[in-house]
Amino acid sequence: MQMNKSIEFFNTIPAKHCPECGEHIIEHAESNLMECDRCLSKRED
């Protein structure tokens, strides 16, 4: 069934969300960033 494929897709790719603003985070291969780019740039101010 196509629905089962969709569920499997989401189960294999856990979504990350920024704890600051709730923005969906695209996981970076070379870093362990827990926050989205926007919040990270704010912190550097």
Among 21, 27, 34, 41, binds Zn ion (CB under 5 A): 21
**23 touching Zn ion, by CB under 5 A:** yes
Question: 34 Cβ partners below 8 Å, 6+ apart?
Answer: 18, 19, 25
Q: Which x/- pattern over 24-43 shows residues binding Zn ion (rule: CB under 5 A)?
A: ------------x--x----
Per-residue H/E/C for 4-35? HHHHHHHHHCCCEECCCCCCEECCCCCCCCCC
Closer by beta carbon to Zn ion, 18 or else 33: 18
**20 touching Zn ion, by CB under 5 A:** yes
